[in-house]
Structure 1
Amino acid sequence: MTHRSLRSLLLASTVLIMLASGAMIGTVAYRYATVAVAEVSSDLRREMTRRVIDHIRVRLEEATASLEEAAESLENGLFSTQDSEQIERVFLLEVTSNPSVTSMILGFEDGSMLGATEIGVPRIEGPGTPTQGPEPFGYVLKTDGPAPALFHKIPVDERGDAVGLTITVPGYDVRERSWYQAATKATPPSDTGALWSDIFALTTGDDMALPVSRWVNRPDGSRIALLSAHVFLSQLTPFLTHLHDDLPGLSFIIDQRGLLVANSLGESVIHRGMRDRGLSLKAARDSTSPLIAAAARMIATMDDALAPDGTRGALPATLSLNQDGDRYFVETTPLVLGRGLTWRVVTVVPESAYMAPLRIGNQRTVALIVASVLLMAGVMALVARHILRPLGELTESVRAVARGDYTRILDINRRDEIGELARSVNTMTLQLRHTQEALDRRLAEVSAAEARFDALFENAEIAIWNKDMSPLLVRFAQMRANGVTDLDAWLDAHPGAVRDLHDTMRVIHVNRATLTLFGAENETAFLENMDQILTKEVEGRIRDLLLAVWSGIGPFQGEISLRTLKGERLDVYVTLPVPHSIDGARSVPVTLLDVTGLRRTEERLRSNTLELERSNSDLDSFAYASAHDLREPLRNITSYTTLLSRRLADRLSDEEREFFSYVHGGALRMDDLVCDLLEFSRVGRAGDVPEPVALSEVVDAVRETFDEQLRACGGRLVFPPELPTVVGVRRDLDQLFSNLIANAIKYRSPEHAPVITLGARRDGPFWHLTLADNGIGLESGHGYEERIFRLFQRLHARSEHGGGTGIGLAICRKVVEHHGGRIWAVSPGPGLGTTFHFTLPLWPQS
């Protein structure tokens, strides 16, 4: 047997433990740090991409809005296409004040053009170009007649006066411009909307421009000219460059063809062919930047693989790129804006920007671990030397004990650890026996803990199932692979699939509360009779569960009706988490809370509600009788004030006549209020039997009532030729429509005649009706849409809009609610009218 030194063993063990612990800690720390850095870098790349997309979207949407505004001004005659000086001033002001539009051009069908461009466009160096002189405010672009014509680029000041030499290009024809041809060939035509077309080179060769165009039409639909706004690509680069002042990496933009639109490196995107007229966009894969070129080739390869039909740039992706031994993250996101414009925004960030500090930290950690190991090894060598010297005698004594010599007594007079060890050897047998007894007790405690854990599940007061839903997720994955995208529509087409999909799930374990709830003797009996507890009513909830699992939105919660094994109805509230992976779906806990008693309590509450409604009906009858009795003294007041006014007419002063007028007017208002209260109390009175009511007859009768008022104010009532038949009380429905139309006439706008429009559409078991007017409307944000339906509520002074009692719309609300519907009002704002929405139950035979 080979002799091994205990000292070497202690040192080697200490070093190995230190190295293993350090390596494990370092590995875990590095892994978590790597994950954290990856998440941070991903968020940063998405944020950079979002900022680029938001900037470009704002720029291009502002350009589209400017184009639409100018086109509408031309179509509405705010300025004439015959007045070239006015158009030059308007276009010059637009391109110099709007940073998103660098040029605006009006192209005519005879090939001529007129427009303006901002000073930001670089000048051409060549014959006819001024090298000195005042800085122009902008440039006016125009031709001297129909094509072919001489193109002029004239530098002008703020007043439109020329301040330098004019640049000319012969043989210009606007119809040959790519943006003009694209608008002419567009499908559908761009007569009614803006169209983005391919990037093109400027006539002067200064820059490349992205055009958005729109036809300017006459009222009869014929074309006047094509209006085009241009965004120069040179305007996009500064933002990308500035974005990476403080952020690592680079960003660039490519179009569907893989051509470079802009980049943060300041690299020119223009490819020059034969002379300056041969300008075109440079392919991204031909970029002078190796990163841009490599990223563009990778994106092209990805698009060819994912979109073999030629549809490119439609998929966002995060890619990894190795270049010159370094790794880069590539974030690519599509940008689609308007017709004809699809770009891709690409952000490239080096991995070293995030991982270099982490690697430095790891190197320092390794150095610290090595130093700690060396220090611990030295300390352990000294300790081992001190400990192992007196162990010879102890070794012999232990060997004697191993041979069965339990009579040998070691020297236990030492006061150090060796002496303690000797005393320990003497009691070793006893301690081993005690240790074994303690181990047996510990094992018993562990077993008891496991039993308590099982008891928690078994003795829970709430029913709990463990359900295996993994086969359902596998089935869903197969359906998606077969092209199913809308599960709801697919289930409509396959009615029996709901039960089939539900049968793929399996209950694997239930607790004792479940057995008690469903009246099962044991788990086997329950699992074998699962079909008995499902009712036909539960299929709808099963469908909801399937849709929740399909969409991944959870947890799923809902109330369902089941049956016990004895056939008794059971209302339970089910809750289960929606699994997102097959592993997580193998054991899904389903909790079932018995709410049968709660539903019975709700039934009693409904009974009490009906009793309260009967009490309210009695109260309405009392109000009706009381209001009826109030009218008699009011009529006496008005009659006698009228008689007194007539008899004492020659003896009353002006102030006394005014007092009589106040009394008389107050009595009349009180009478109106009592009358409206009578109408309010009549609504929904006992004895009113609902019957089918044709709304066309109701509207015809109400229209005759208000015909004279409508003619007096020039208004009109518009309603569809066929209106539905609803279930209701004819008198109450007459009152409903009368009050709504009277309200629309009363609160009409003084600026135009009232137009009241009635509409209807089917909404399940109801008809959804709308009555819209063009009156004074409601101010939003103050809750007026709700307040107008309250009793005695007015939003205006009594002297405005003919007065009123504030009960009319409250009657409308009561009529609708007594018919089982609801009513609400919507207004865009003051002066924009109001639309009243209300629902009435449909007549089933209609």
Structure 2
Amino acid sequence: MVISPEGEITDVNRATEVVTGYPRDKLIGTHFSEYFTDPRKARQAYLQVLREGHVRDYPLEIRHRDGKVTPVFYNASVYHDAKGDIAGVFAAARDITRRRDAEQELRKNEKRLKALLAEVAAKNEELDSFVYRVSHDLKSPIVTIDGFVGALREDFGDVLSEGGEKYLKYISDAARKMELLINDLLALSRIGRVTRKKTEFPFARLVKDALKALQPQIKARGIVVNIQEDLPVIYGERMRLARAVDNLLTNAIKYIGKENPSPRIDVGVEEQDGQKVFFVRDNGIGIEKRDFDKIFQVFHRLPSAKKQVGEGTGVGLTIVKRIIEHHGGKIWLISEPGKGSTFYFTLKNKEA
């Protein structure tokens, strides 16, 4: 389309006829702004062209004579006569219907996704709350069972047969295992639902405190533990991060292997892509790659490892993952059967 300095159409191409629904002879001599849904906005764009010399991708809508509206990007520039004065404007409109439809569909999908995420978050919160209530309610009968086992031993221990004592031990061990499981489930349900104060503290302190509590198992297995020097200060909820470190070290001890001639655990930090990455490494039985994601799932335990490591709650690594993610980090591992495992994790830095 060619437009005079006054805004009248002086020439058009076939595309202009198609998009407006008017033939060339009906368009020439009319004001160009008449063919837009917002004539005032169209005139503002034209004034901008005259003032600045051009306009790029100015959003407008062309109205067809039958009422159909076509969204376009309006591009225009001035041209001059022999004296250097503005003789008129060359204008072109690019149909952006597909782009607009795609953007609208994207916005709809984003809205649906947000709604689904909100629904999932609500369901997760509801599930966490349910787990918390059930776990809390189960603690009372477990304490009662354990109490009666103690009373039976105290009052009737001298008349209990060897078989009777054996059965009491089964009951006591089962109650203790159930208590550990309930405590783990309670801890899992609280992460993200109950937020504690975040502080700065030495990562090395967490590691040493955890190792101190695990000394009996470490000595019993003859494990050599190496802690990297100059470990950094970290920021987060101290008790929860202590739980994560303790669970990772407990897992390393558990999967070190009963027949390992030189069991070893290394704890440290390294730089990866400019980020501090913490690790707990063992030279234990290792894990198949297909099980890398599964081991972070609740109650998942490797069938091949049960004979070597015994029973557990199956919640420990799930808790670790939830704690790390709660702190804005991520956790992953590298492992190979018979060659040990290295668990890596990151933590979000303290905001300045």
User: Number of residues paired by the alignment?
Assistant: 283
CA distance in structure 1 between the aligned counterparts of 2:241 and 2:161, rounded to whole angstroms: 48
Alpha-carbon deviation of 1:810?
A: 0.7
2:222 paired residue number: 714
Question: What SS does the aligned partner of 2:152 have?
Answer: helix
CA distance in structure 1 between the aligned counterparts of 2:236 and 2:219, rounded to whole angstroms: 30
CA distance in structure 2 between the aligned counterparts of 1:593 and 1:622, rounded to whole angstroms: 46
Paired letter, 1:820: G
CA distance in structure 2 between the aligned counterparts of 1:809 and 1:527, rounded to whole angstroms: 65
Which of 758, 772, 777 is residue 281 of structure 2 equivalent to?
772
1:228 paired residue number: none
Say whether 1:748 aligns with 2:256: yes
Say whether 1:665 aligns with 2:191: no
Task: Decide whether aligned partners of structure 1 residues 615 and 779 sit closer, same or farther in structure 2, where only a CA change above 3 A counts.
Answer: closer
CA distance in structure 2 between the aligned counterparts of 1:668 and 1:799, rounded to whole angstroms: 20
2:54 paired residue number: 528
CA distance in structure 1 between the aligned counterparts of 2:275 and 2:251, rounded to whole angstroms: 24
Say whether 1:841 aligns with 2:338: no
CA distance in structure 2 between the aligned counterparts of 1:803 and 1:623, rounded to whole angstroms: 22
CA distance in structure 2 between the aligned counterparts of 1:661 and 1:753, rounded to whole angstroms: 34
Which of 187, 191, 203 is residue 679 of structure 1 equivalent to?
187
Paired letter, 2:337: P
Alpha-carbon deviation of 1:833?
A: 0.3
Q: Is the 8 A contact 2:334 2:343 kept in 1?
A: yes
CA distance in structure 2 between the aligned counterparts of 1:730 and 1:701, rounded to whole angstroms: 12
- In structure 1, list runs of 5 or more residues that go unmatched: 1-449, 460-511, 534-562, 566-588
2:247 paired residue number: 739
1:85 paired residue number: none
CA distance in structure 2 between the aligned counterparts of 1:801 and 1:817, rounded to whole angstroms: 27
Task: Decide whether aligned partners of structure 1 residues 837 and 684 sit closer, same or farther in structure 2, where only a CA change above 3 A counts.
Answer: same
**Any idea what the Cα deviations from partners look like across 1:33-52, whole Å, max 9, x if unmatched?**
xxxxxxxxxxxxxxxxxxxx
Alpha-carbon deviation of 1:724?
A: 3.1
Which of 769, 780, 784 is residue 291 of structure 2 equivalent to?
784
CA distance in structure 2 between the aligned counterparts of 1:527 and 1:601, rounded to whole angstroms: 39
2:266 paired residue number: 757
Task: Decide whether aligned partners of structure 1 residues 791 and 457 sit closer, same or farther in structure 2, where only a CA change above 3 A counts.
Answer: farther
Structure with larger RCO (C-alpha < 8 A, sep 6+):
2
Q: Is the 8 A contact 1:768 1:838 kept in 2?
A: yes
Alpha-carbon deviation of 1:793?
A: 0.9
TM-score by length of structure 1 reads: 0.30
Q: Is the 8 A contact 2:231 2:269 kept in 1?
A: yes
CA distance in structure 2 between the aligned counterparts of 1:637 and 1:456, rounded to whole angstroms: 89
Q: Is the 8 A contact 2:226 2:265 kept in 1?
A: yes
1:700 paired residue number: 208
Question: What SS does the aligned partner of 2:269 have?
Answer: strand
Paired letter, 2:229: P
The structure with the larger Rg is: 1
CA distance in structure 1 between the aligned counterparts of 2:158 and 2:221, rounded to whole angstroms: 39
Question: What SS does the aligned partner of 1:718 have?
Answer: strand
TM-score by length of structure 2 reads: 0.66
Which of 327, 331, 335 is residue 823 of structure 1 equivalent to?
331
Paired letter, 1:623: V
Paired letter, 2:170: Y
Task: Decide whether aligned partners of structure 1 residues 661 and 702 sit closer, same or farther in structure 2, where only a CA change above 3 A counts.
Answer: closer
Paired letter, 1:767: K
Task: Decide whether aligned partners of structure 1 residues 723 and 747 sit closer, same or farther in structure 2, where only a CA change above 3 A counts.
Answer: same
1:795 paired residue number: 302
Identity of aligned residues (%): 31
**Any idea what the Cα deviations from partners look like across 1:85-108, whole Å, max 9, x if unmatched?**
xxxxxxxxxxxxxxxxxxxxxxxx
Task: Decide whether aligned partners of structure 1 residues 649 and 707 sit closer, same or farther in structure 2, where only a CA change above 3 A counts.
Answer: closer
CA distance in structure 2 between the aligned counterparts of 1:763 and 1:458, rounded to whole angstroms: 56
Question: What SS does the aligned partner of 1:758 have?
Answer: strand
Question: What SS does the aligned partner of 2:324 have?
Answer: helix
Task: Decide whether aligned partners of structure 1 residues 762 and 660 sit closer, same or farther in structure 2, where only a CA change above 3 A counts.
Answer: same
Paired letter, 1:678: L
**Any idea what the Cα deviations from partners look like across 1:305-343, whole Å, max 9, x if unmatched?**
xxxxxxxxxxxxxxxxxxxxxxxxxxxxxxxxxxxxxxx
Any residues of structure 2 matched to 1:555-634 within 5 Å, and which?
A: 593-594=99-100, 595=103, 598-599=106-107, 602=110, 605-606=113-114, 609-610=117-118, 612-613=120-121, 616-617=124-125, 619-634=127-142
- In structure 2, list runs of 5 or more residues that go unmatched: 1-12, 21-34, 61-93
CA distance in structure 1 between the aligned counterparts of 2:183 and 2:18, rounded to whole angstroms: 68
Paired letter, 1:684: G
Paired letter, 2:54: E
Paired letter, 2:292: E
Alpha-carbon deviation of 1:634?
A: 0.8
1:809 paired residue number: 317
Question: What SS does the aligned partner of 2:309 have?
Answer: coil
Q: Is the 8 A contact 2:45 2:55 kept in 1?
A: no
Alpha-carbon deviation of 1:564?
A: 5.5
Q: Is the 8 A contact 1:628 1:678 kept in 2?
A: yes
Task: Decide whether aligned partners of structure 1 residues 754 and 622 sit closer, same or farther in structure 2, where only a CA change above 3 A counts.
Answer: same
Any residues of structure 2 matched to 1:140-179 within 5 Å, and which?
A: none
CA distance in structure 1 between the aligned counterparts of 2:169 and 2:344, rounded to whole angstroms: 40
Alpha-carbon deviation of 1:606?
A: 3.6
Any residues of structure 2 matched to 1:82-101 within 5 Å, and which?
A: none
Q: Is the 8 A contact 2:255 2:308 kept in 1?
A: no
